[in-house]
Amino acid sequence: MNSSNVPSESAISSPANEKSGLRYQLRRAWHLGQDVVLPVATFVALLIVWEICVKAFAIPVYLLPAPSVIYAETAAEWPVVWGHTLATLVTVLLGFGFSIVVSLPLGFALTSSRYVSNAIYPLLVLTQSIPKVALAPILVIAMGANELPRIAVTFLVAFFPLVIAIATGLLSVPADLIELSRSYKTSRMQELLRIRVPYAIPFIFSGLKAAIALAVVGAVVGEFVTSDRGLGYLIQTSTAFFRMPLAFGAMVLLSIMGIVLFQLVGIAERVLFPWSSSKQVFSS
């Protein structure tokens, strides 16, 4: 039999490979569409229902403004609103940054020794048992009426879940793997950097996502107590003068800020540590 008349293996499998690749691309596009289009469509539908209900029931603007009114008044005051947005964003990022700087060594310390954990952990719980709204005025007296109390409140709200996530991640390594590493005379630093930290990466980024969302809340709490700028201050002044559309616009911007910052942390995780994601969207 002439071998030249026999189709090559690549020729036989090429249409199947192309079809498989096309199915993968279509499946990937479908999943991306679900992740993006579905939430956006749900949000738009909610706005439409909101607009219709406000118009149909003739709800007063000072009780519940329509989305169109919120957009119009926020756009009319956009230079002022943008300045308040930047002020809140700076407070959020500074408080979040300090929470990372403090939480990383603190999380390592909690897992390094049982005695250290027993000494520090109750103090951490104590800091979270105090309502931040009650603590903020004390911080204003201690630190002055400036940016520091707002950053401190943001830090106190954000750092606790990050510390817990770091400690949990460092302790999540299987005991058999730790015993194996110690049988090879691995030092404590090598064990930490090569075994415990890689296992802790997904936990750390989960804590970072929770911390950045809570940092937005902490910044607004600080602005409610003492501030002359920021979206929290804008909400207070707007509601005092019954400018509810502007107050709702500030709340929408706070929500957008939290969503964007949360997604940025998720993007950083996927870019820097793509292997750490516990949820695989596409199967091979």
Same domain, 88 and 145: yes
The Cβ of residue 111 has, within 10 Å, a number of other Cβ atoms equal to 18
- What per-residue confidence (pLDDT) applies to 210? 93
Establish if 281 belongs to a structural domain.
no
What is the Cα–Cα distance from 129 to 123, expressed in whole angstroms? 10
DSSP designation for 196:
I
Establish if 282 belongs to a structural domain.
no
Establish if 219 belongs to a structural domain.
yes
Same domain, 139 and 251: yes
Angle between helix axes 67-76 and 9-56 (nearest 10 degrees) is: 90
What is the Cα–Cα distance from 281 to 279, expressed in whole angstroms? 6
Neighbouring residues of 99: CB distance < 8 A, sequence distance ≥ 6: 154, 155, 158, 159, 162, 211, 215
pLDDT, tens digit, 9 for 90 and up, residues 153-187: 999 999 999 999 999 998 888 888 878 887 777 77
Task: Give the residue with greater pLDDT, 118 vs 248.
Answer: 248
- What per-residue confidence (pLDDT) applies to 32? 61
Residue 66: band (very low, low, confident or very high) from pLDDT cuts 50, 70, 90:
very high
Same domain, 45 and 185: no
The residue assigned the tokens 């952990």 is: 121
- What per-residue confidence (pLDDT) applies to 281? 38
Establish if 23 belongs to a structural domain.
yes
* Mean pLDDT on 252-279: 86
Most confident of 16-20, 43-47, 224-228: 43-47
pLDDT at 99 over 60: yes
Establish if 167 belongs to a structural domain.
yes
pLDDT at 283 over 60: no
Residue 96: band (very low, low, confident or very high) from pLDDT cuts 50, 70, 90:
very high
Total tally of structural domains belonging to the chain: 2
Same domain, 36 and 118: no
Same domain, 21 and 121: no
Same domain, 230 and 272: yes
Same domain, 19 and 76: no
Q: Which of 208, 210, 188, 213 is nearest to 104 (CA)?
A: 208
Q: Which of 137, 132, 200, 133 is nearest to 171 (CA)?
A: 200
Mean pLDDT of the chain: 84
Asked if 108 and 200 count as a contact pair (C-beta separation under 8 A), the reply is no
**Residue 106, domain extent:** 67-276
pTM summary value: 0.81
Amino acid identity, position 67:
P
CATH code of the domain in which 211 resides: 1.10.3720.10
Same domain, 204 and 257: yes
DSSP 76-120: HTHHHHHHHHHHHHHHHHHHHHHHHHHHHHHHHHHHH-HHHHHHH
Measured CA distances, 114 to 92, 106, 150, 169 (Å): 33, 13, 33, 16
Same domain, 13 and 83: no
Same domain, 111 and 164: yes
Same domain, 27 and 162: no
